[in-house]
Amino acid sequence: MPNIRDVADSAGVSVATVSRVLSATQDGPPVRDETAERVRQAARRLNYRGNYHVAAMRRGRADVMGFALHFPGVPRDRDDTGRWYFNELRDGIESVLQKKGVSLMGVLPLGNETSLQRGAKLVNKRQLDALIVPGHMAHFRETDELLSTSAGLPIVVVDNIQDVHRPSVRFDPIPGMRDALKHLLELGHRKLLWVGPRDARPTSRESMFYALAFELGLTGSTCRIDMPAGAPAGVSRVHDLVEAAVTDLLRQPGRDWTALVAYSDLFAVGALRAVQRAGLRVPGDVSIVGFDDHDVAHGCPPLTTIDHRLFEMGQVAAELALRLFESDTDARQAMQNEQITLAAKLIVRESTGRALGG
């Protein structure tokens, strides 16, 4: 494989001249046009490919951003419930980076290293300009320690639940949930059913649902589903578990709820299947609201849902990461606690309608 010395010998110039021409660096004296062209012709003739990382070091940027994808223990297959989540964030990030001529590299765990540890190392080595970290990874002990010791690095956390004292893009679900409950109230629904996972403590979405329902004068009951311990259940498994639980509930006499609100669109689809197979109409007999605006929300009927705005959060995170990378040390330090919040939005589709008698 030809090296930079071979190109220099072929073109009859110094190695330093070849470096200045092929890396487009401004260091050293200017290179005459005819000399530069002779160098480029020699490089093409020899099929020489320069060292990308050396050029990146000279330019002070790699034009590559990292995205910490998964941590050990999370499966990755076509039925993975997290697959859509990461894809939405990634697509939003890439939509911004492509316009800037910056590539996105997924950073996965390797051996005992988490994706965050690997990503931070690559940023330190200038093989990545910045790193974007999904918020669910920001609440582990080793992650907290790494984030606190890498304050000078351009690292952005996206969709974090708790404060991380890093530049971050947060999601506020309350406006979307409030609008969803107001929407059902306006349609005449007064008694609702919450469908979500069973946990040692109520999920934040369930707690939010009941707090806002109480605020609006609505009453509710709960259908909690036992989810498999350990790794997350796949999409199909979630649908089946929710359908079975809601089917059992519908077999009990005295149903007084006219609408259900689900923990996620995956839960909503499982509930939808149970309701329809019980001979009830959606939304004629039961209205259904999901959460996330997942791909599965575009079924039959399309789900009214609360938009998680993951694509937009990815876009904002990319813009913040670029700004962080391009800032000097003082400006970067001033941005360490910067938080940008995106509020959830209600998307009304065909799964909600006026309550019978409402």
Q: Which of 19-23, 178-182, 238-242 has the lowest average pLDDT?
A: 19-23
Q: What is the pLDDT of residues 26-73, one digit of tens each?
A: 455 678 888 888 888 888 888 876 654 555 555 567 789 999 986 444
Which amino acid is present at 42?
Answer: A
How far apart are alpha carbons 194 and 80 in whole angstroms? Answer: 24
Q: What is the pLDDT of residues 286-318, one digit of tens each?
A: 999 999 999 999 999 999 999 999 999 999 999
Equal fold, 64-171+311-326 vs 174-307: yes
pLDDT at 203: 63
pTM for this predicted structure:
0.80
Helices (H), the chain: 4-11, 15-23, 33-46, 52-59, 83-97, 115-124, 141-149, 174-186, 204-215, 235-251, 265-277, 310-326, 329-334
pLDDT at 143: 56
Which amino acid is present at 34?
Answer: E
Cα–Cα nearest to 52, from 130, 126, 120: 126
- For residue 279, give both structure tokens: 């001979």
The domain defined by 64-171+311-326 folds into Rossmann fold (3.40.50)
Average pLDDT in the chain? 85
CATH architecture of residue range(s) 4-59: Orthogonal Bundle (1.10)
DSSP SS3 for 213:
helix
pLDDT at 121: 86
Give 174-307's CATH code, choosing from 3.40.50.170, 3.40.50.2300, 3.40.50.620, 3.30.565.10.
3.40.50.2300
Boundaries of every domain in the chain: 4-59, 64-171+311-326, 174-307
Q: What is the pLDDT of residues 97-145, one digit of tens each?
A: 999 889 999 998 888 888 888 888 888 888 899 999 988 765 555 555 5
